[in-house]
Structures are given as C-alpha cells and as structure tokens.
C-alpha cells in the first residue's frame, strides 16, 4: 500500500474520473468472533451499545480494552492477557469489549487522561467510568503491561459493584431514572436534560435495534404554557425533515398511543390542524410523554467547544454552513427557532461530526413582516431587542447565530456574564460588540460576525444577505450538484492538461478542488471517503507540479522543488519506501529486547507507521523525527550482524517516509491555503493527541 506520493501524472488515470471502490464484508453463518486475538475463550461483545445493553440486563460491570493492531505495546500485552487464566475466569463476571482499528471509541469518556494505547477502562452497569480504578497515579493511569495488575483491577471493580448492590437494597438511590415503559424500546443511559424533560439513550427491542434518543417529559411538571411549547415542538418535528435538523421518529404515551393532544393555539390550528379528539379523552394518559428522535452520539456543540476552548475558523465555517442550511429550510416555512444556542445543536459523532438542530420547544411561526413581544430563549443568546422587552422579528435568530459563531471562534459568548443582571447591564450600555484582535480571522468571517451582531435589528444582516454571504460559500457545499460540477471541472482540467494547455488546466484544477475538498470531510462511507481523499491529493499534487513548471522561480525550494517527477527513479524509490514492512519491524523488535533504549526508539517509529497508515501525517512526521533523534546516535556503535542490517534498512525507509510526508504536508498546506482552507482542520491530516505507550 502506498501512503505517500502517488503517481497520477499520466492522463490515463485522471481521464477515468472518480470511480468509487465499495468494500463489503460478508459474515458467514455462526457466531462472530469479537476477540481480535485477545482470547477467543472470553465472551467478547462487538460494540459499546451492545456492551451497555448487556451490562444493564445482567447488572455486570464493563471492561473495555482499547488497542490498535500496529501498536507494539499492545502486541506485547496481548499474549500475557491471553495466557492469564485469572483474567479468563474473572471475565465471566464482566461484559467484555475490545476495540479494533476501526472501532469508534471517540467519546471523551474513553480518553479520561489522553488517547494513549493500550488502555483498560472499567465502567459500571450504567456505563459510568470507574475513573479511580487505575494502574498508576502519575501519567498513563489506565495502562497495563502485565496481567497481574489487570486481575487486581478486575477484582476491585467487582467488589465495588457488589458493595453498591448491598447499599442499593438498603437505600434506593434518589436519582433513579423515571419508569420508562415503552413497548418497542429498551432504555440504556441518561444523556442529559432538555427544555422540558430528561433525555435517555435507548434502542429498539427487535429488528435492527436502532439506537434512539427518548425525551421523557413528566406531565405534572408542565404548565399550560409549557404544554403549548411541547405541542409546538412535536408538531414541528413531525414535519421538519432535513439533513441538519434532528428527526422525530415517534411519539408515544405510556401504555397506549393517542393522536396528538386536543389543545392547540389558534396559530397552530391555522397552520396545520391537529386531529380532533373528544374532550373527555385524556390527552396524556399517564405520568409521562415520550418524544423519540434520532440519536446523536457526539453530544452538543457547547460541550464540543468547551473541550477545545475554541475552534479553527475552517471548522466554524463548516458548522455554520450546516446551521445556515437548517435555518434556510426553516425560513422557507416561516419558522423561527427562537432558542438557538450551542446546547441545542447536536453532533452526530465526534469523528467528522455533522450538526443537527434540536429542541424546538420555543419555536414559532413568524413570517417576514410579523413581530412579537414575548420574551423567550436563553438570555446569553437573546437579541438585545428581546431582552429589552421591545418588538422583535425572526432576525433574533440571526443575532443568536452571530453569538454562536463568536463563541466557537473565541471560546466565550460576547456578553458572557456571571448573572442575568450583569448581562442586562451590558446590553443596556448600547456599546457595539468588539471583535477580539488576539486571534487572526479572515475578512469574510469578521464581516459576517459584525453584521450578525448589530444591536439595531434594522442594521443587522437580513436572511437573504446572510445566506448569500461569502463566508458561508454555499456554492461549494458538498451536494450532488457540487460533485457534478467538480467532476466536470476536473474533466476539463485533464483535457487541457493532455493537450499541453497548462495554464487553463491549472485554473480548472483549482476550481475543481474548491468543490472536492469539502467532500473529503462530508463523505461518511469509509471506502468512498478514502477514494475521494486519495483522488483529491492526486489533483492537488498535479496542480502543484503545473505551477512549478509555469513559475519555477516562485516555488518554494523546501516543498515543490523537492517533489520528484512521476516516472523518475526517485519517485519510484519513494513509492517503495512508503509501504510498511511489518515482518522486518516485528523481527527488529525481537532483536532489540536486550537494548531498552533502542527498542523504545523502534516502538516510536512503528507508531509513526501506524499514524501514517491512518493518514494522520503531522503526528506521523513528529514520531518519525523523534525516533530518528534516538536511533541515529546509537547506530554507529551498533555491532555488525542481523540486527544492524535490519535496523539500517528500516532507518533508511523511515527517513524516506518522513521526507515523503513532509512533501505532502507542504504541498497540501500551500494549495489549500490559497483556497482559504487549512490542513489542521481536515481529518485526513488531523492533529491528534493519541500515541502509543512504549515501555
């Protein structure tokens, strides 16, 4: 497999266009082995959701072994783990799960003190991390190198669970979740709380066992006003089907289904009348109402921002594009959300997240010329005219969007205050919001912020201008239409390239890349995503080569001038150097057992290979460089023999791979920068805090 420079200069490869390679996995009959080589005698489960369901059903704690196939420390631990009869015996009292290279253990709870590997975590039957069951107290607290510490940790977890069971019999917990009793669903864990109730994770009892979110609302807690808001949320979600709006899947009432409750406001009746129900019918039927929606595993945007302090501008643009598309959809139906804030924006996952606008409890129909005076929303994100009890229109949502963008970029909202009184004082001062200068942002981003955060709604940007603003760049959003444009532009680029019209070809390549690059983060199908990344890198490489030909003096000698031409001996050497020689690496590790310092360096180089394999090039380059700093001083004193022969061969390959990665990073950073993009925000080259422990 080639992971560095790919030969694509020949027009025959480019002319073919984009061809997707679909990968399917067929599982034959019989039980699937989820051990991944970590003792098939242990009853491993395949996914975290399955583990959580089984843990709750059997009231067992969970053991999560998080590892990677390329990690040397993981390989060192595995045989000891497999050979331990104590671990195998104790495993019967746990729900056991181990990750694999493709496992999606991206939630923060799986990285309590960092993303190093391997790490072994313990959870209770409700999925809560037992954070204090550790192997060490300094760093890498959840790392284990020998089975005896794992056995001790398993015994500690078991004793704690048994003690909790004893306590539970004598003193029931006051935080016991409400008695959810949905016919078609099993509830697992509490996710949080919304405007009018708690939200739980659940799955279907039969069929595909789809994971969902269930909002549980207690009838006794609702006033008539809150009933109206809940009805509006149900009504809106019933009809709002959009890629960036959370989807309502079902609406159920305890023990039996009913049509929607009979009460509705005149405004709702005129828009979409509810089915009539006899006035003697009980609208709620019992204590709870349930709204079942799609599950978003990445949490909300507020938590996402707090975990990262502030977000890169390119990621803010991506998120804002998605939010703006949902707002455009709402405005086409004269709907104002009225409570836009990061906590009401969900993420589908933490890896390549997509936004889902949620919590429509305060939403209402509000046409272009309609105004309101009733205060609603969250003060920190409310427009000044609403907080000051003035008439307002749907442009209050524009203000909220500006606050969200401001918070995403700078880490806090512009009127952040310790109390509502202090917030009102800041609002009454009538001073314009100042955009901080401690962080560099683009002119388009600054312009949109300033226009969204105009205190006077008459001066604030309107919806049509907002949707057309260059910072949003709707033209290059990843849509089927944009993909068609991208393919057409690249077809023209290839044709001009083949005919020797390099200036025209370069222009078409650059135009096509503006459509292709957003797709590299939008695509969710792994095979398509990888094919798209590879093809995009090929186009970028070719564009840079043409630039070098047209303007050789303007090309940096540290990047493009060192790029080998396709077909050259240097290029072919780099292709061979990019393949990972696993067999030699394993043998080298074995030979380095007696030299700890050298073994550590080789482990680091092997981790670099793993990061290269995953496409995480900046981190791979960092590890390669660190390994070389450790190995090169030791190499001259290495005695002749098999180890030195393999070591020299591997060092040569690692150095070539590092140089190759430098070229890719330099090329992509330069070309993408010209298009207002940044490598650091693309998950194909994303910076990561994960690393492999080497002992």
Q: Mark the binding-site residues for ATP, compressed into ranges.
A: 219
Among this protein's residues, is 339 annotated catalytic? yes
Sign of CA dihedral 507, 508, 509, 512: positive
b/e per residue, 187-225, with b = 16+ CB within 10 A? bbebbeebbbbbbbbbbbeeeeeebbbbbbbebeebeee
For residue 445, count other CB atoms closer than 10 A to its CB.
22
DSSP assignment string, 362-373: T-EE--TT--B-
Q: Which candidate, 249, 258, 251, places its Cα nearest to that of 284?
A: 258
Rg (CA), the chain: 29
CA distances from 432 to 415, 451, 461 (A): 11, 11, 15
Q: What secondary structure letter does DSSP report for 220?
A: G
d(CA 536, CA 6): 11
Are the beta carbons of 301 and 343 closer than 8 angstroms? yes
d(CA 336, CA 376): 12
- CB half-sphere exposure, 252, CA atoms < 13 A: 17
Are the beta carbons of 587 and 600 closer than 8 angstroms? no
Q: Given 339, 397, 497, 663, which residue is catalytic?
A: 339
Q: Which candidate, 616, 609, 615, 687, places its Cα nearest to that of 654?
A: 609
Q: Which residues make Cβ contacts (< 8 Å) with residue 27, sequence separation at least 6? A: none
d(CA 268, CA 259): 16
Are the beta carbons of 340 and 309 closer than 8 angstroms? no
d(CA 609, CA 582): 9
Which residues sit in the known binding site? 219
Are the beta carbons of 539 and 490 closer than 8 angstroms? yes
Catalytic positions are 339
């Amino acid at each position: 497999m080639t992971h560095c420079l790919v030969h694509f200069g020949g027009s025959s490869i480019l002319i073919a266009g984009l061809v997707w390679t679909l990968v399917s996995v067929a599982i034959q009959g019989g039980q699937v082995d989820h051990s991944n080589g970590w003792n098939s005698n242990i009853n491993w489960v395949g996914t975290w959701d399955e583990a959580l369901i089984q843990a709750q059903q059997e009231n067992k704690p969970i053991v999560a072994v998080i590892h990677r196939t390329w990690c040397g420390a993981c390989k060192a631990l595995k045989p000891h783990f497999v050979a331990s009869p104590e671990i195998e015996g104790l495993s019967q009292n746990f729900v056991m799960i181990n990750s694999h290279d493709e496992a999606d253990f991206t939630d923060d709870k799986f990285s309590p003190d960092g993303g190093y590997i391997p790490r072994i975590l313990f959870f209770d039957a409700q999925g809560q991390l037992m954070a204090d069951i550790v192997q060490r107290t300094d760093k890498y607290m959840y790392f284990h190198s020998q089975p005896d510490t794992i056995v001790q940790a398993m015994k500690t977890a078991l004793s704690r669970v048994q003690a909790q069971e004893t306590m539970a019999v004598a003193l029931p917990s006051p935080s016991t979740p409400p008695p959810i009793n949905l016919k078609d669903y099993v509830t697992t864990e509490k996710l949080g709380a919304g405007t009018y109730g708690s939200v739980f994770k659940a799955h279907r009892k039969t069929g595909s066992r789809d994971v969902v979110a269930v909002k549980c609302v207690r009838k006794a807690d609702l006033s008539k006003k809150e009933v109206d808001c809940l009805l509006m949320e149900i009504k809106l979600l019933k009809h709002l089907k959009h890629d960036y709006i959370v989807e309502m899947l079902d609406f159920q009432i305890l023990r039996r289904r009913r049509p929607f409750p009979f009460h509705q406001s005149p405004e709702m009746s005129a828009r979409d009348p509810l089915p009539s129900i006899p006035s003697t019918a009980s609208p709620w039927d019992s204590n709870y109402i349930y709204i079942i929606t799609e599950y978003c595993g990445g949490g909300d945007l507020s938590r996402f921002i707090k975990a990262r302090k502030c977000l890169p501008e390119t990621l803010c643009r991506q998120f804002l594009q998605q939010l703006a598309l949902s707002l455009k959809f709402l405005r086409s139906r004269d709907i104002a959300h009225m409570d836009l804030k990061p906590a009401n924006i969900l993420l589908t996952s933490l890896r390549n997240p997509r936004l889902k606008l949620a919590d429509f409890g305060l939403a209402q129909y509000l046409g272009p010329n309609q105004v309101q005076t009733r205060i609603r929303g969250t003060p920190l994100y409310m427009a000044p005219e609403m907080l000051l009890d003035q008439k307002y229109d749907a442009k209050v949502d524009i203000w909220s969007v500006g606050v969200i963008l401001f918070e995403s970029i700078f880490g806090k909202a512009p009127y952040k205050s310790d109390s509502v009184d202090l917030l009102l004082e800041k609002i009454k001062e009538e001073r314009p919001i100042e955009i901080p200068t401690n962080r560099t942002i683009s002119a388009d981003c600054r312009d949109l912020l300033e226009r969204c955060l105009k205190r006077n709604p008459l001066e604030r940007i309107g919806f049509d201008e907002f949707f057309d603003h260059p910072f949003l760049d709707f033209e290059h959003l990843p849509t089927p239409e944009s993909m068609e444009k991208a393919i057409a532009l690249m077809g023209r680029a290839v044709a001009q390239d083949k005919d020797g019209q390099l200036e025209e070809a370069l222009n078409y390549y650059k135009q096509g890349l503006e459509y292709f690059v957003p797709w590299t983060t939008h695509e969710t199908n792994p095979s398509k995503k990888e094919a798209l990344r590879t093809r995009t890198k090929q186009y970028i490489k070719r564009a840079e080569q043409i630039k070098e030909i047209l303007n050789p003096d303007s090309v940096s000698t540290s990047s493009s001038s060192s790029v080998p031409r396709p077909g050259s001996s240097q290029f072919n050497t780099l292709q061979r150097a990019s393949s990972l020689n696993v067999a030699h690496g394993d043998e080298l590790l074995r030979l380095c057992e007696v030299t700890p310092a050298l073994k550590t360096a080789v482990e680091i180089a092997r981790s670099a290979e793993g990061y290269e394999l995953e496409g995480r090039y900046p981190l791979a380059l960092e590890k390669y460089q660190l390994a070389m700093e450790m190995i090169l001083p030791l190499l001259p004193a290495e005695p002749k023999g098999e180890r030195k022969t393999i070591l020299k061969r591997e060092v040569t390959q690692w150095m070539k791979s590092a140089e190759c990665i430098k070229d890719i990073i330099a090329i992509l950073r330069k070309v993408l920068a010209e298009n207002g993009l940044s490598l650091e925000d693309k998950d194909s080259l994303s910076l990561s805090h994960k690393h492999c422990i080497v002992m």
